Amino acid sequence: MVFLALPLLALGLSLASGPLSSAAASATPSPSSQPLLSSFQLQKSLPALPLGLWRKIQDIEKTAAAAAASAASAGRVGHHAVEHQLTFSAAPKGDGEYTAYEFDQLVSHDPEVPAPYPNATFKQRYWFDATHYKPGGPVFLLDGGETDGEGRLPFLKEGILQILSKATGGIGVVFEHRYYGTSFPVQNLTTDSLRYLTTLQSLHDSAHFASNIVFPGLESLSLNSAANKTAWIYYGGSYAGAKSAFARKLFPDVWWGAIASSAVTEAVVDFWEYMEPIRLSGPPLCIALLQNHTSMIDSLLSLNQPMITQRLKSYFGLGGITLDTDFVNALQSPLGAWQGRNWDSEVGSRAFFDFCDKVEEGEKEELVGAGGGEEWEWIEKLLPGLPENPAKRFASFKGYAEYVKENIASMCPEEDGEQDDCFGTGMYGGDGLEEAPWRSWSYQFCTEWGYFMGAAPEGHPTLVSRLITPDYTGQICRLAFPKGKLNRVPNTPNVTEINQWGGYDFAYPRLAFIDGSEDPWLYATPHSPHSTVFNRTDTLEEPYKLIAGGVHHWDENGRLDGEVPKVIQAVHKEEVEFVKSWMETWNERGRWRPE
Ligand SMILES: *[C@@H]1O[C@H](CO)[C@@H](O)[C@H](O)[C@H]1NC(C)=O
Ligand SMILES: *[C@@H]1O[C@H](CO)[C@@H](O)[C@H](O)[C@H]1NC(C)=O
Ligand SMILES: *[C@@H]1O[C@H](CO)[C@@H](O)[C@H](O)[C@H]1NC(C)=O
Ligand SMILES: *[C@@H]1O[C@H](CO)[C@@H](O)[C@H](O)[C@H]1NC(C)=O
Ligand SMILES: *[C@@H]1O[C@H](CO)[C@@H](O)[C@H](O)[C@H]1NC(C)=O
Ligand SMILES: *[C@@H]1O[C@H](CO)[C@@H](O)[C@H](O)[C@H]1NC(C)=O
């Protein structure tokens, strides 16, 4: 190691007992029993996936799910416990309330990527609830999206499927996505084996299912869409929301209507705008401080002086991370908690606000002069080019540093010497089916969707370090998916595959868009400021609704006990209204026929 930081030595500071090692460093990390982010959120909202940390969180989730399941079977906890803070993602409910069924699905719907033998099939999982069914009622298919379908069962029990089925005498179905949960058309997840994983293949899956399904126990009813006697309506949130919109357009004969919630209809390679709703709607002082901290951290790292870099990392409890990029990537974790918010506190997390309280606390202490600014005075001597009163600025890092140390670094403490294994983003091993929860979506964004979340463009305020570039974030695409014999991952995700159908301006009859004004995905939806359709109106035929203060697909969950805020009750009511009007149109036609 070459020490460029000679002035440090000249000041007589030693690495072992430097000024940076007190304050935050002395706070005992309390390993949190509940990780800050679920494994699903970690993957969806950090620029690059630290696989070691992801595996750790998954283990915690599995243990928690198993414990909750056994507690539930002993009648000790309510059904909400397992979902807590997992925001509909990883942990199955395990209460066995619904039977899982399997549908024989075609391995490939694309003659150019043929199955190993003609008409080869695999078992695709689904669940349904027909307790509200009345003759003539519709079937609602909820697309499980990029996760285990079991995680979506709450929507069948007390969420949007239950609400719509009850109101219209319909049947609710949760349909698992190929390559997730237990629905695999292959034996492993090598690059070659992933060749049947495209958005279009999965859109064909739901269409083929709707056209052919005979529900067990309901054999006497002609419920499939091909019989023309039952209206099928698609529902999806997020990626599945975009699929819902595309399904209505690509298979209009199958889907009578579609509801697309937080639908990311525009695929974007460099999606720095993920942070914009956070920057614009987050607590203003916290956001201003984070911008300043980020720029200060970037300035310090850019000095490229190992001693300073080391002390900075250690201040956050992350001294064991070798690469600066991996360090600033880990610092993004608390921002991921923004997406984890939900109106139902038993489902969502308020971690983002706890984080901001902590960040602001550091600032307040600094203002009252109790922040120990003196421990940073050496910096002033060392770095005359830095902004005014850097000691003060540094002291205000304290809250941020402590939060990261307690909630993120504590997952893999510096003392254990394995922080690179945990927070590193340069190793992506494993191609067995059990790797699907991280690997399948990574493959999808590497090939078609992009959404690399990096720093804002120069000149635009950024909450994300300028070290986070699409090149860094895209590493996983090169490392995890080496070129196969039959398949390869493109150098850059081919977002045209998606945008040829979608885009910000997407509209179609009997297709509803429901978004949230504070959703970090807002800029990829039809409510994006990039939409060029001015004065887009909200009608019964083409509903276009923005939930004020809403985050990610906030209309998807509900509560049987009715403890639902007014704004969510209102959107649920409107959804019932427009679906009923679509059903009136269906009924007026007598028998379905194409328009
Ligand atoms: C595959 O299925 C199609 C449609 O059902 C059928 O027409 C075709 O004969 C089948 N091919 C083989 C080889 O079984
Ligand atoms: C993956 O599965 C395919 C068949 O689906 C098989 O031919 C191949 O050998 C497997 N590769 C590995 C690395 O297991
Ligand atoms: C359903 O409607 C389509 C489109 O009009 C038609 O091609 C098909 O034959 C109909 N199926 C039945 C079973 O009537
Ligand atoms: C952020 O930094 C700017 C420029 O140094 C300064 O004017 C501003 O007061 C800082 N904001 C906060 C909240 O500390
Ligand atoms: C990207 O996808 C589009 C749409 O399928 C296709 O026309 C184009 O050739 C693809 N581009 C590359 C570089 O593969
Ligand atoms: C959009 O709405 C505004 C206000 O209602 C109106 O002045 C304007 O003419 C409308 N523009 C279009 C293109 O309809």
> How far is Cα 173 from Cα 209, in angstroms, rounded to an integer?
11
CA angle centred on 199, ends 517 and 554, rounded to 5°: 25
Kindly give, in sequence order, each residue whose CB lies less than 8 Å from that of residue 314, ignoring residues fewer than 6 positions away.
20, 21, 25, 414
Phi, psi of 287 (to 5 degrees): -65, -45
537 lines ligand 6 (CB under 6 A): no
Compute the distance from residue 536 Cα to the ligand 6 centre, in Å.
Answer: 10
Helix axes 160-168, 566-588, angle to 10 degrees: 40
496 lines ligand 5 (CB under 6 A): yes
| DSSP string covering 199-260 | HHHHHHHHHHHHHH---TT-TTS--SGGGTSS-EEEEEETHHHHHHHHHHHH-TTT-SEEEE
Relative to the CA of 534, which ligand 6 atom is closest? 13
**CA nearest ligand 4 atom 12, residue:** 289
pLDDT at 477: 97
Q: Is 540 left (phi over 0), alpha (psi -120 to 50) or beta?
A: alpha
Kindly give, in sequence order, each residue whose CB lies less than 8 Å from that of residue 380, ignoring residues fewer than 6 positions away.
386, 389, 390, 391
Compute the distance from residue 167 Cα to the ligand 3 centre, in Å.
Answer: 28
Q: Which residues pair with 128 in a beta bridge?
A: 173
500 lines ligand 1 (CB under 6 A): no
How crowded is residue 219: how many other Cβ atoms within 10 Å of its Cβ? 9
560 lines ligand 3 (CB under 6 A): no
pLDDT at 374: 57
pLDDT at 390: 59
**CA nearest ligand 1 atom 5, residue:** 119
Question: Could you tell me the CA-to-CA distances from 47 to 335, 472, 499 in Å, in that order?
Answer: 11, 9, 22
How crowded is residue 90: how many other Cβ atoms within 10 Å of its Cβ? 25
562 lines ligand 1 (CB under 6 A): no
Q: Which ligand is nearest to the CA of 230?
A: 3
| DSSP string covering 343-409 | SSTTTS--HHHHHHHHHHHHHHHHHTT-S-GGGGHHHHHH-TTSPS-HHHHHHTTHHHHHHHHHHTG
288 lines ligand 4 (CB under 6 A): yes
| DSSP string covering 296-349 | HHHHHHHT--HHHHHHHHHHTT-TT---HHHHHHHHTHHHHTTTT--SSTTTS-
Measured on CA atoms in the order 195, 520, 148, 410, is the torsion positive or negative?
positive
> How far is Cα 71 from Cα 60, in angstroms, rounded to an integer?
16
Compute the distance from residue 515 Cα to the ligand 6 centre, in Å.
Answer: 22
- 138: exposed, middle or buried (Cβ count in 10 Å: 0-12, 13-18, 19+): buried
H-helix or E-strand spanning residue 73: helix 51-73
Compute the distance from residue 534 Cα to the ligand 6 centre, in Å.
Answer: 8
Instruction: Retrieve residue 262's tokens.
Output: 């937080």
137 by DSSP, 3-state: which? Answer: coil
> How far is Cα 81 from Cα 84, in angstroms, rounded to an integer?
5
Helix axes 306-315, 284-302, angle to 10 degrees: 150
310 lines ligand 5 (CB under 6 A): no
Q: Which ligand is nearest to the CA of 227?
A: 3
Question: Could you tell me the CA-to-CA distances from 313 to 60, 304, 346, 469, 586 in Å, in that order?
Answer: 26, 13, 34, 20, 62
Give the length of the chain: 595
Instruction: Retrieve residue 331's tokens.
Output: 């610092």
Compute the distance from residue 589 Cα to the ligand 3 centre, in Å.
Answer: 14
Judge contact between 401 and 394, C-beta under 8 A: no
Task: From first to last of the 595 residues of the chain, give the pLDDT tens digit.
Answer: 333 332 332 222 233 333 333 333 333 334 445 788 889 888 888 999 999 999 999 999 888 888 877 876 665 444 333 333 333 333 334 445 899 999 999 999 999 999 999 999 999 999 999 999 999 999 999 999 999 999 999 999 999 999 999 999 999 999 999 999 999 999 999 999 999 999 999 999 999 999 999 999 999 999 999 999 999 999 999 999 999 999 999 999 999 999 999 999 999 999 999 999 999 999 999 999 999 999 989 988 998 989 889 989 999 999 999 999 999 999 999 999 999 999 999 999 999 999 999 999 867 765 544 444 555 666 666 665 555 665 666 677 889 999 999 999 999 999 999 999 999 999 999 999 999 999 999 999 999 999 999 999 999 999 999 999 999 999 999 999 999 999 999 999 999 999 999 899 999 999 999 999 999 999 999 999 999 998 899 999 999 999 999 999 999 999 999 999 999 999 999 999 999 999 999 998 766 555 4
Largest CA distance in the chain: 89
pLDDT at 25: 36
> How far is Cα 210 from Cα 242, in angstroms, rounded to an integer?
18
Compute the distance from residue 302 Cα to the ligand 4 centre, in Å.
Answer: 20
- 68: exposed, middle or buried (Cβ count in 10 Å: 0-12, 13-18, 19+): buried
> How far is Cα 109 from Cα 124, in angstroms, rounded to an integer?
14
Residues annotated as part of the active site: 238, 519
pLDDT at 68: 79
**CA nearest ligand 6 atom 8, residue:** 535
500 lines ligand 6 (CB under 6 A): no
> How far is Cα 584 from Cα 488, in angstroms, rounded to an integer?
47
Among residues 178, 171, 174, which one has the least CA distance to residue 105? 178
Among residues 32, 25, 56, which one has the least CA distance to residue 351? 32
> How far is Cα 355 from Cα 519, in angstroms, rounded to an integer?
18
